Amino acid sequence: MKKAGDINMRRQFLDEQSYHWIGRFLPFWLLTLLVTPFFHQAWLYYALEDIGDLLLLFWLIAWGQKHSVSLFLSCILALVVTAIFLFAFIFYGSWLGLKL
């Protein structure tokens, strides 16, 4: 019988399939964000940026749990990295002339 503290009883934020699917999607999201401003579609750029930020946030939380980081620390890590990406891509979009 498994106990509450057993490593196999830990609840994961995302299941393995979702974790790998999002992990495979993130490089394509990043490439799309780098190319989209050249088509001068600000609404598409910022919509993709918002959707991808949520996926990045979920993936980083799951990554932290997969590597035995506590849920609190993996949430903090995810928020910090997502904020960096958010501000970097807002700056990138405005630098290329896209209006919010």
User: Over its length of 100 residues, how does the chain's per-residue pLDDT go in tens digits?
Assistant: 555 555 554 566 677 788 888 889 889 988 988 888 888 888 888 888 888 888 888 888 888 888 888 888 888 988 999 899 889 888 888 888 877 6
φ and ψ at 26, to 5 degrees?
Answer: -60, -40
What are the residue boundaries of the structural domains of the chain, listed by start? 60-100
* pTM for the full predicted model: 0.73
Q: How many CA atoms lie within 13 A of 20 on its CB side?
A: 3
* b/e code 5-14 from CB counts within 10 Å (16+ = b): eeeeeeeebb
pLDDT in tens, 2-23: 555 555 545 666 777 888 888 8
